[in-house]
Amino acid sequence: MITHTHSLESPPRTDGLLIRWAPFYDSVVDVLTLGHTRRLRNVTIDAALLDVGESVLDVGCGTGGVTIPAAERVGPRGLAAGIDPSPEMIAVARSKADRLNLKVDFRIGVIESLPYPDGSFDAVTSSLMMHHLTPELQVKGIAEIYRVLKPGGRLLIADTTIPRGFFLKRVFGLIARRHGVKFGVEDLTGVLKSAGFAGVNVLEMRFLMLGFVLATKQSA
Ligand SMILES: C[S@@+](CC[C@H](N)C(=O)[O-])C[C@H]1O[C@@H](n2cnc3c(N)ncnc32)[C@H](O)[C@@H]1O
């Protein structure tokens, strides 16, 4: 009897924190967003100002939560790609896109070494992934994003934000200290400016504990 084993590749080396429990990931996000995952995804691609016909790369794409609605937004005349070092996450993302009959270029890869030529994309999205990187990797990854963006291209980062209220600020501080991390999406503005991004804006809107930063690469 011939048996076909579909063993997954081993992940590339990275200091980033991988998620390997891919089959449960979407359900966990749904719980954390209190059932509003779809709204979060729509808010994210709206904030990235994605338009029909554009090319978009989703870094640390996971199961394609942002990549898939982004592919629907840019449509068949556009191009959507997603990279993640976790083979399990990429496998789930590919099967979700296949079920929807959507063409998305999902690849196993790392943000610190993006497998695309300079100036490939109109927009890059990074959703809930920057806090998975060490500060050194954030610097390298953001430089790579800058490289693969076209002049005038946009980067939208959605990630945890430092809460505004006194009580939540204290809770966030305690959790962050306990886990040895200090991260709010607004902490990235300095890194973004150093990488060369021109317009770097922390958006006013928030979604639960998440904030958004939109940065633009200088036009040629
Ligand atoms: C919390 S998940 C976010 C997934 C997806 N973007 C979303 O919004 O649901 C963070 C992802 O970052 C990925 N990751 C970790 N290190 C990475 C790296 N060096 N480069 C790219 N992605 C990385 C993990 O494997 C994981 O899938």
Q: HSE on the CB side for 190, CA within 13 Å?
A: 3
How many A from CA of 15 to the centre of ligand 1? 12
Tell me which residues of the chain have a pLDDT lower than 70. Answer: 1-7, 172, 176-183
Ligand 1 proximity of 85 Cβ (cutoff 6 Å) = yes
Under 8 Å between Cβ of 202 and 213? yes
* Contacts for 124 with CB less than 8 Å, ≥ 6 apart: 56, 57, 58, 59, 145, 148, 149, 153, 154, 155, 156
How many A from CA of 212 to the centre of ligand 1? 16
Under 8 Å between Cβ of 196 and 152? no
pLDDT for res 4: 41
pLDDT for res 149: 98
Ligand 1 proximity of 64 Cβ (cutoff 6 Å) = no
pLDDT for res 2: 39
How many A from CA of 111 to the centre of ligand 1? 9
> Tens digits of per-residue pLDDT, 12-47?
999 999 999 999 999 999 999 999 999 999 999 999
Residues making up the chain, counted from first to last: 220
Ligand 1 proximity of 59 Cβ (cutoff 6 Å) = yes
pLDDT for res 45: 97
Under 8 Å between Cβ of 44 and 158? yes
Name the pTM for this structure. 0.92
Among protein residues, the one with the nearest Cα to ligand 1's atom 25 is: 18
pLDDT for res 5: 43
Which is the closest atom of ligand 1 to the Cα of 19? 25
